[in-house]
Structure 1
C-alpha cells in the first residue's frame, strides 16, 4: 500500500465515527419530527375532540406549525452553545431533548382521559422539540462541513439530508408495518404511540455516539476566540438574509413533497394508507440515491448551477406533478420521484453553502437564527396550508404558492457569490 493510500485509509477510519454519529443523530431529529406528520391521521382525535375528523387533523397540523415557532429561539440558544462551547456538546444536547419530547408524546394521556390537558401536553412537547430542532441542523451541518475536505465539501454535505430522509423513511416504514399488522381501531387506540416511544429509545443511542465524537479542528483553532456576537451578526446581515431567501423555497417544497405528501394523500386524496406510505418509502430511496451525485457535481462545477437546477427545475415540475397525482398510490410514487430528482439537488449541498457563508465564531448561530425563522414561517405552515388551501381553494392554488417561493429562492441564488472550495476560517 502506498503512503498516500495509507493516509487516506487512516483518515477514513478517523472520520467514520464522526460521520456515523452525525448521521444517526440527525436521522433521529427527522424521524421524531417526521412521524408527527406521518401519524397525524391516527392520533389527531386522541388529543382533540373527535366530533369532526377534519377539524382534529387541522388542529394537529396547527400544533405541527407551533413547534416551528420555537425553532428560532432554539436556533439562537443551541447555535450560540455550538459556537461558544463546541459543536459536539450542542449536538448531544439537541438529540437528547428531541428524544425526550418524543417519548413524552408517546406516553401522554388522551383527550377522553384528561380533556384539554392532552392538547396542552402535545403543544408543550412540540415546543420543546422545536427548540432542540432549531439547533440540531445548524450544529450538525456546521460540524460536518468543518471536518470535510474543502474539495469534497459538497459531496460530504449530502450526508446531512441523506440522514434526514433516512430518518423520515424509517418513520414511514414503521407506519407501513403498523398499518399492515394492526387494525384501524388499534392504530387509533395505541398503534400511533409506538413510533414516539421508539424515538425516545433511539435518542439514547444517538447521545452515546455523539458524546464520543471529537471536536472539529476549525472550532478548536478559532471557535474559542472571543467573538463579539451582535457586531458580527450585524456585519453578516447580508448572509443572514441570503439564508432566509435560499431556505423559503427549498423548505416548503421539501416539506410538501418529501415529508407531508403521504399523509396529505391519505387524508385529502383518499389514497390507501399502506399504498401512500410505500410510495413515500420508494421515492425516498430515489431521493437519497440522487443526493451524492449532486453533491459531487457541485464540487466540480460550483454550488450556484446545482442550486439553480433544483429551484427552477422544481418550480417547472410541480404543476405537471400535481396533475399526475390523483387517487392512486402509483401516481403518488411517480409524482414524488419527479419532485425528488430536483429537490435532491438543492438539499444535498445546502449544508455546505450555508457553512461557507459565515466565519467559525458565528457559523452555527449565524445560520441557525435566520434559517429557523424561515423554516418556522414557511416549513412549519406547509402541511397545514397544503391541507387547508387544497380543501378551500384547490390544489393548484397551493402549488402556485410553492412555485412562487421557489422563484424567490432562484432569484437569491442568481445573485449570490460562488463559494465552492472556500476555506472555512
Structure 2
C-alpha cells in the first residue's frame, strides 16, 4: 500500500530504514528519564509559542500604538505585515540552526534558539510606541519579531530532530504529539492571559499598556526553560556520528558542508518538496483554525474580546486531546493516514466552516464551531509533523534537511496568511482565501501519495 518513487530509492531511504543497530537505537529510559526529555523539549516549545501567539492575540490591542491610521483595519494590517516579517526569518533560522544541530548537537541548538526567541519577546515588551519615537516604533517591533522568527525557525528543526531521535520507533507518533501538546499549552496560556487581562483591566488598559505583560513574561520565562534544557542528554544517534566534544575535525561521520551539503540536500530533493507541500497546508490551516481565529474574530468580525478569548482557550484545550489521539492513531495505522484525513477534510469543510464563521455578526457560537471542528482536522498532521519530517532524512543532514523546506514553506504561506485573510475579507473577497486553502490541501494529497510510510521503522542512519 505504500507508494515510493525511484528517487526515494536513490535517496537510500528504504535501505537506511532497514539498517538498525543497537548503537543508533533510542536508549532504554526509565519513566522519569522519559518525562525529563519530553518536558525539556516541550517547555521550550511552549515558551516559543507563548511568545509567538502573544503577538497574534494582542495585535488587535497594540496595532494603533505602532501604526497610526484612521482605519483600525489598516493599522492591524501593518501589524500583521510585521508578523509576516518574522516568518521571513524562519528559513534563515532553519538553515543556521539546522547546520548547528547537525554539526554541534541537537541540545545546544535547541537551547540557543530558545534564548533568541525569549530576547525577541522582551524587545517587543519594552518597545517604545509611536507617541514617543514616531515611525521608529515600528522598527523596534520589527526587530523583536525578527529575533522571534530566527529563534522559532531554530526551535522547530532542533526540537523536532531531538524528540524523533530519542523516541522508541514504535512510539514516535505519540512522542511527537507531545511537542504540540506543549505548543498548545503555550498558545492556551497566551490566550487565557489575554482573557484574564481583558476581564480584569478592561480593553482600554490592555490597549494602553497591559499588552506588554505577556512579552515581558515570556522573556523572563526563558531563564527557566534554559535550566531545563541544559540538563538534557545529547541523542545517541548524533553521538555515534560525532566524538563526545562535537569536534568537527574528529567526527566519525562528518556532516557535509559547503557545496557537498547542498549536493546532499539536492539528492533528497523529493523529500524536501514533500515537506514543503505538507508544511504549507499544515502551517496555514493551523494558523487559520487555532491561532489566528481569535484575532480575526475581534478585529474583522467585531466580536467582544473577552468571550472570544475564552472560546479560544476551550478550543485549544480540546486540541490537546485531539493531538494525543492522532499521535496514537499514527503509531497504530500509519503516518500517511493522518495526512489523507486532514487533506480530504480540509477540502470538504473549508468553505462551509468559513461561511459559518462569517455568517452572523458577533455570534460567538459560530466561532466556537469553527475552531472546534478545525481543531479535530488540523491535529491530525500537527501531531506527527515533529516525527514524520525528520524521519525522511539520514542523521548527518536530518535537522537541516527537514528544517530548510519546512521553514521556507512556513515563511511563504503561514507568515502571509493573517495579512492575506484580513485583506481579502476587508475587500469583500473571502472566497479567494478559501480556494487558496483548498489548493494547499490538494497538494497534501499528492505529496502524501508519493511519501514513504515510516510508522514503526528505524530512522535512517
When normalised by structure 1's length, the TM-score is 0.96
2:347 corresponds to: 315
CA shift, 1:318, in A, is 1.6
Aligned to 2:386: 351
Q: CA deviation at 1:180?
A: 0.4
Could you say what secondary structure the match of 1:356 adopts?
helix
Runs of 4+ with >6 A deviation? none
Aligned equivalent of 2:88: 69
Are residues 1:191 and 2:210 paired?
Answer: yes
The two structures, once aligned, show a CA RMSD in angstroms of 1.4
**Paired residue for 2:145, among 101, 105, 126?**
126
Aligned equivalent of 1:295, options 327, 352, 373: 327
Partner residue in 2 for 1:394: 429
Once the two structures are superposed, residues 273-301 of structure 1 have per-residue CA deviations (whole angstroms, 9 ceiling, x without a partner) of: 01111111111111110111111111111
Determine the structure 1 residue equivalent to 2:372. 337
**1:284 lines up with 2:312 in the alignment:** no
1:17 to 2:17 alignment: no
The count of corresponding residues between Structure 1 and Structure 2 is: 418
Instruction: Report what 1:93 is aligned to.
Output: 112
- Residue of structure 2 equivalent to 1:305: 337
Q: Distance in 2 between matches of 1:156 and 1:316?
A: 30
Residue matched to 2:262:
230
Q: Residue 401 of structure 1: CA displacement?
A: 1.2
> Matches of 1:55 and 1:177 in 2, distance apart?
27
Could you give the per-residue CA deviations for residues 333-386 of structure 1, whole angstroms, max 9, x where no partner exists?
A: 111111111111111011111011001111111111111100000000011111
Measured in 2, the distance between the counterparts of 1:148 and 1:329 equals 41
**3-state SS of paired residue (1:393):** coil
Q: C-alpha separation between the residues in 2 aligned to 1:130 and 1:180? A: 30
Find 2:162's aligned residue among 123, 126, 143.
Answer: 143
Q: 2: distance between equivalents of 1:317 and 1:206?
A: 38
- In structure 2, how many angstroms separate the alpha carbons of the residues matched to 1:33 and 1:405? 23
1:183-205 per-position Cα deviation (integer Å, ceiling 9, x unaligned): 22211110110011000011111
Gaps of 5+ in 1: 1-7
Is the 8 Å Cα contact of residues 74 and 134 (structure 1) preserved in structure 2?
A: yes
1:226–1:9 Cα change, 3 Å: closer
Q: State the 1:314 CA deviation.
A: 2.2
Deviation digits for residues 30-62 of structure 1, max 9, x if unmatched?
Answer: 111111011011111111114332111100000
Contact kept, 8 Å, 1:250 with 1:311, in 2: the verdict is: no
Partner residue of 1:5? none
8 Å contact from structure 2 (residues 339, 444) kept in 1? no
Structure 2 residue runs without a partner (length 5+):
1-26, 243-250
Q: Is the 8 A contact 1:249 1:407 kept in 2?
A: no
1:208 alignment counterpart: 227
String of CA shifts for 1:118-147, please: whole Å, max 9, x gaps: 111111111121111111111101100111
Aligned counterpart for 1:369 among listed residues 383, 404, 407: 404
